[in-house]
């Protein structure tokens, strides 16, 4: 290992060079313990023992291929390898998602989950987190980040397992249908469209489907899958844009639903629960009319779907709408991109991916839980932030607006001046203290007049609330609040009127960091904050940037150091981290930058002196006393300022002599300057940058 290839394809020599023998830790252990495989060593024994305890499976026997008749040994290896990869990746900041390394984590977990259920008949939802303690006990001392982040790893593993468990059963059944049809038709492979649909509908990664297909003696054609993927994405691109501007129900259409068609308002109470629900299709809205069926509508047409029951959250109260799908397994799938409520009627806006819907069809309502979870974090975080703002800034703080989505929370409030950094620190600390106490979230519909009597209750001024109103209390049961509504202690509790979705307990939020504080109008301030994984990612980004500054600080002064601090300046401006941390980073950056500037000035002065001394030294030599010109290369860097100083000296103090000097080298750059003395025609010097061509 000799060089590191840079982004521009050039090679940079590594500070430490070595030979990669391929003999990693596990291979070395297998050799020392005289084992024929890594898995037969005591590196894996603690994990295998834990897997056996959790699943009740037979003991591991280190069989491979056809010798592993029941596949149990392979499953042991898969689960052990997967829990190690997942735990270390998550500890390193790779949160599961649909992009980059996050998608690798998600794919690995879903493949491992399916192995655990197929071969160990394990219950999915907390399987990997039950294996995790054995890994932490085994490797936590050598890798302290595992022990430090054990709880975070457990929560993420469970959250991902639960989300996949929702569709795993249905996805496996759909796979079996596709596989049976392929075999019946004499095919040796699953169609690319079927493989893509298993991913798009049920979250089955392609490599998982490939593995399942191989178990049935089938293959998949990756080129076909790629074509199906691109075809689906291109077809949905235009319709997604159209859905964003889909017509709203106007007053006449609402009256038509209520008085002419006589459709009852839907039951949406399930939006406050987790998991899928079932409902029945009532009507299909085309944007201009209501229909009972989608049969005659062109594919990918933007539509609004009305159901009798739904678990989708419609945009309201600053919280964005859910997205997801409404489907009849293997028959029809409707992609939900937006959900709006008009006069109590909930319209799911989206398009049919395939199939048809007709009035009365029973459908599965499947909102995107992995998207809603951070929305819950951010909404409960908004309540906690609102409470902390009042505690720190005073009673004049009132909510003026908010936005809660999967990435952030944004909170607008009344306040006459900028919130200072010490105040932001108090607000952050108070919010995180509330979060870390892991308070339970309570909610209840309460008579509006009675709810207004609760001491310290927060509500948006001028907002019209329903009666009864939903009261959300963090840490104290709503019934306890109502038993003595004027109790002054309730001012220490976050209590608000709110119809949004929230976490069950505040500990799920993990952390809250404020990444922006600004003014948006006279007397109105805005705070943007991150919670949960978003907050942790921002903290990791801050740590990486801080380490980059340490690296720059350690570089010996020169062009490389100057170039890197210049690039870091741009990166720091764009960095989204806690405003408190950013101030610390700015201070650290300013110190390094100041040292570089001071060193540049010092070297500039020294090089100017060296340049002038070199030329003057030439004329002081006995043989050059009567010389009227000097042409030469100066022993300095490509320093135009030093050359200018030489020119100015002879232009003002030794006007008769002519000097023509060069500075720099072919690996860097070359500057040159000329002054023609009064003995000849005089003209101003001019520095020119030359680049050597080879």
The mean pLDDT of 396-421, rounded to a whole number, is 94
Q: Give me the helices (H) in 496-639, please.
A: 532-554, 559-574, 579-620
The span from the CA of 208 to the CA of 295, in Å, is 34
355, 331 in Cβ contact below 8 A? yes
325, 355 in Cβ contact below 8 A? no
The span from the CA of 95 to the CA of 156, in Å, is 8
The span from the CA of 300 to the CA of 237, in Å, is 10
Q: At a CB cut-off of 8 Å and minimum separation 6, what does 547 contact? A: none
The answer to whether 235-367 and 373-535 have equal CATH topology is no
Extract the runs of DSSP E, i.e. beta strands, from 368-418: 399-404, 409-414
663, 643 in Cβ contact below 8 A? yes
pTM of the full structure: 0.75
Inform me whether the pLDDT recorded for 96 exceeds 70.
Answer: yes
Longest dimension (CA), the chain: 114
Q: Which residues of 551-576 are buried (b: 16+ CB within 10 A; e: fewer)?
A: ebeeeeeeeebbebbeebeeebeebb
| Ramachandran class of 690: left when φ > 0, alpha when ψ lies in -120 to 50, beta otherwise | beta
Beta bridge partners of 664: 670
pLDDT (0 to 100) of residue 557: 85
Inform me whether the pLDDT recorded for 690 exceeds 60.
Answer: no
pLDDT (0 to 100) of residue 17: 79
pLDDT (0 to 100) of residue 681: 46
Which of 40-54, 107-121, 184-198, 675-689 bottoms out in mean pLDDT, i.e. has the lowest?
Answer: 675-689
Q: Is 348 buried (19+), middle (13-18) or exposed (0-12) by CB count in 10 A?
A: buried
34 or 243: which leads in pLDDT: 34
pLDDT (0 to 100) of residue 689: 45
Q: What is the pLDDT of residues 440-491, one digit of tens each?
A: 999 999 999 999 999 999 887 667 888 999 999 999 999 999 999 999 999 9
Quickly state the pLDDT bin for 228 (edges 50, 70, 90).
Answer: confident
Fold of 235-367: Elongation Factor Tu (Ef-tu); domain 3 (2.40.30)
112, 128 in Cβ contact below 8 A? yes
pLDDT (0 to 100) of residue 680: 57
Task: Using alpha carbons only, give the angle 575, 581, 587 rounded to the nearest 5 degrees.
Answer: 90
The span from the CA of 72 to the CA of 61, in Å, is 9
The span from the CA of 422 to the CA of 424, in Å, is 5
Inform me whether the pLDDT recorded for 230 exceeds 90.
Answer: no
The mean pLDDT of 95-99, rounded to a whole number, is 79
The span from the CA of 589 to the CA of 593, in Å, is 6
The mean pLDDT of 428-436, rounded to a whole number, is 96
The mean pLDDT of 401-421, rounded to a whole number, is 94
Transcribe 105-166 into DSSP letters.
Answer: HHHHHHHHHHHHHHHH-PPTTSHHHHHHHHHHHHHTTT-HHHHHTHHHHHHHHHHHHHHHHH
The mean pLDDT of 433-445, rounded to a whole number, is 96
Q: At a CB cut-off of 8 Å and minimum separation 6, what does 413 contact? A: 386, 389, 397, 398, 399, 400, 524, 525, 526, 527
Q: At a CB cut-off of 8 Å and minimum separation 6, what does 477 contact? A: 442
The span from the CA of 32 to the CA of 530, in Å, is 49
Integer-rounded Cα Rg, in Å, for the chain is: 34
Extract the runs of DSSP E, i.e. beta strands, from 303-447: 303-307, 324-328, 332-342, 345-354, 362-367, 399-404, 409-414, 441-446
Q: What is the pLDDT of residues 242-275, one digit of tens each?
A: 777 788 999 999 999 999 999 999 999 999 998 8
The mean pLDDT of 5-10, rounded to a whole number, is 77
pLDDT (0 to 100) of residue 334: 94
Helix, strand, or coil here: 280? strand
Of the candidates 328, 299, 363, 366, the one whose C-alpha atom is nearest the C-alpha of residue 174 is: 328
The mean pLDDT of 564-587, rounded to a whole number, is 94
**What residue segments make up the domains of the chain, in order of their start?**
25-220, 235-367, 373-535, 605-690
Inform me whether the pLDDT recorded for 327 exceeds 70.
Answer: yes
Rounded percentage of the chain residues whose pLDDT exceeds 70? 97
481 or 101: which leads in pLDDT: 481
246, 349 in Cβ contact below 8 A? yes
Rounded percentage of the chain residues whose pLDDT exceeds 90? 60
Inform me whether the pLDDT recorded for 683 exceeds 70.
Answer: no
Of the candidates 624, 623, 607, 622, the one whose C-alpha atom is nearest the C-alpha of residue 659 is: 624
Helices then strands, each counted (H, E), the chain? 19, 22
Beta bridge partners of 327: 333, 364
Of the candidates 595, 599, 603, the one whose C-alpha atom is nearest the C-alpha of residue 663 is: 603
pLDDT (0 to 100) of residue 684: 47
Q: What is the pLDDT of residues 144-166, one digit of tens each?
A: 999 999 988 998 899 888 888 87
Inform me whether the pLDDT recorded for 371 exceeds 50.
Answer: yes
Helix, strand, or coil here: 227? helix
Q: Please give the torsion angle defined by the CA atoms of residues 97, 98, 104 and 109, in that order, rounded to the nearest 10 degrees.
A: 60
Q: Give me the helices (H) in 59-99, please.
A: 72-91
CB atoms within 10 A of CB 430: 18
Mean pLDDT estimate for the chain:
90
The mean pLDDT of 328-346, rounded to a whole number, is 93
Fold of 373-535: 3.30.980
Task: Using alpha carbons only, give the angle 680, 683, 685 rounded to the nearest 5 degrees.
Answer: 120
Quickly state the pLDDT bin for 45 (edges 50, 70, 90).
Answer: very high
Inform me whether the pLDDT recorded for 237 exceeds 80.
Answer: no
Beta bridge partners of 494: 474
pLDDT (0 to 100) of residue 687: 52
pLDDT (0 to 100) of residue 468: 93
Inform me whether the pLDDT recorded for 321 exceeds 80.
Answer: yes
pLDDT (0 to 100) of residue 559: 80
pLDDT (0 to 100) of residue 298: 86
């Amino acid at each position: 290992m000799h060089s590191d290839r840079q982004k521009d394809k050039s090679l940079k020599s590594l500070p430490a060079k070595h030979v990669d023998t391929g003999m990693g830790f596990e291979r070395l252990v297998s050799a020392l313990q005289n084992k024929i495989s890594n898995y037969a060593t005591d590196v894996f024994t603690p994990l295998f023992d834990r897997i056996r305890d959790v699943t009740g499976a037979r003991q591991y026997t280190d069989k491979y291929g056809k010798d592993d008749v029941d596949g149990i040994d392979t499953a042991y290896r898969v689960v052990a390898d997967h829990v190690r990869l997942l735990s270390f990746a998550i500890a390193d900041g790779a949160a599961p998602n649909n992009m980059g390394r996050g998608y690798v984590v998600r794919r690995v977990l879903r493949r491992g989950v399916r192995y655990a259920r197929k071969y160990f008949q394990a219950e999915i939802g907390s399987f990997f987190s039950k294996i995790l303690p054995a890994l932490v006990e085994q490797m936590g001392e050598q890798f302290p980040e595992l022990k430090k982040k054990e709880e975070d790893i457990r929560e993420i593993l469970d959250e991902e397992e639960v989300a996949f468990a929702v569709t795993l059963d249905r996805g496996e059944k759909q796979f079996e249908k596709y596989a049976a049809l392929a075999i019946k038709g004499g095919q040796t492979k699953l169609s690319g469209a079927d493989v893509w649909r298993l991913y798009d509908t049920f979250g089955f990664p392609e490599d998982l489907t490939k593995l399942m297909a191989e178990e049935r003696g089938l293959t998949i054609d990756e080129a076909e899958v790629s074509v199906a993927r691109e075809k689906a994405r291109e077809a949905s691109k235009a319709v997604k844009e159209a859905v964003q501007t889909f017509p709203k129900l106007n007053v006449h259409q609402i009256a038509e639903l209520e008085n002419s068609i006589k459709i009852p308002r839907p039951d949406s109470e399930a939006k406050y629960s987790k998991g899928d629900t079932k409902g029945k299709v009532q009507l299909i809205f085309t944007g201009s009319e209501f229909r009972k069926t989608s049969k005659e509508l062109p594919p990918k047409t933007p539509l609004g779907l009305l159901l009798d029951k739904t678990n989708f959250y419609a945009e309201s109260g600053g919280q964005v709408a859910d997205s997801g799908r409404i489907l009849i397994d293997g028959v029809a799938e409707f992609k939900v991109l937006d959900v709006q409520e008009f006069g109590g009627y909930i319209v799911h806006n989206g398009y049919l991916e395939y199939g048809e819907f007709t009035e009365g069809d029973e459908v599965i309502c499947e909102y995107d839980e992995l998207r809603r979870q951070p929305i819950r974090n951010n909404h409960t975080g908004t309540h906690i932030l609102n409470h902390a703002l009042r505690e720190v800034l005073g009673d004049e703080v009132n909510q003026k607006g908010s936005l809660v989505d999967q990435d952030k929370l944004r909170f607008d409030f009344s306040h006459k001046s900028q919130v200072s950094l010490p105040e932001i620190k108090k607000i952050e600390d108070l919010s995180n203290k509330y979060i870390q106490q892991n308070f339970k979230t309570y909610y209840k519909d309460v008579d509006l007049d009675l709810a207004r009597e609760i001491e310290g209750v927060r509500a948006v001024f001028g907002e019209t609330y329903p009666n009864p109103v939903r009261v959300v209390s963090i840490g104290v049961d709503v019934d306890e609040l109502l038993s003595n509504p004027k109790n002054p202690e309730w001012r220490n509790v976050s209590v608000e009127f709110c119809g949004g979705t929230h976490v069950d307990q505040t500990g799920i939020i993990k952390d809250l960091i404020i990444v922006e504080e600004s003014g948006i109008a006279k007397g109105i301030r805005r705070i943007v904050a991150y919670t949960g994984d978003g907050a942790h990612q921002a903290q990791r980004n801050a740590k990486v940037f801080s380490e980059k500054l340490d690296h720059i600080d350690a570089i010996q002064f020169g062009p490389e150091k100057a170039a890197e601090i210049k690039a870091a300046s741009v990166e720091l401006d764009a960095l989204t981290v806690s405003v408190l941390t950013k101030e610390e980073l700015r201070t650290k950056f300013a110190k390094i930058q100041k040292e570089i500037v001071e060193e540049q000035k010092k070297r500039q002065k020294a090089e100017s002196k060296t340049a002038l001394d070199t030329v003057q030294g030439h004329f002081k030599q006995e043989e050059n006393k009567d010389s009227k010109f000097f042409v030469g290369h100066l022993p300095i860097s490509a320093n135009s300022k030093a050359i200018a100083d030489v020119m100015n000296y002879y232009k003002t103090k030794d006007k008769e002599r002519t000097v023509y000097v060069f500075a720099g080298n072919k690996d860097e750059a070359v500057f040159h300057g000329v002054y023609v003395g009064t003995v000849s025609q005089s003209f101003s010097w001019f520095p020119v940058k030359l680049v050597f061509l080879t």
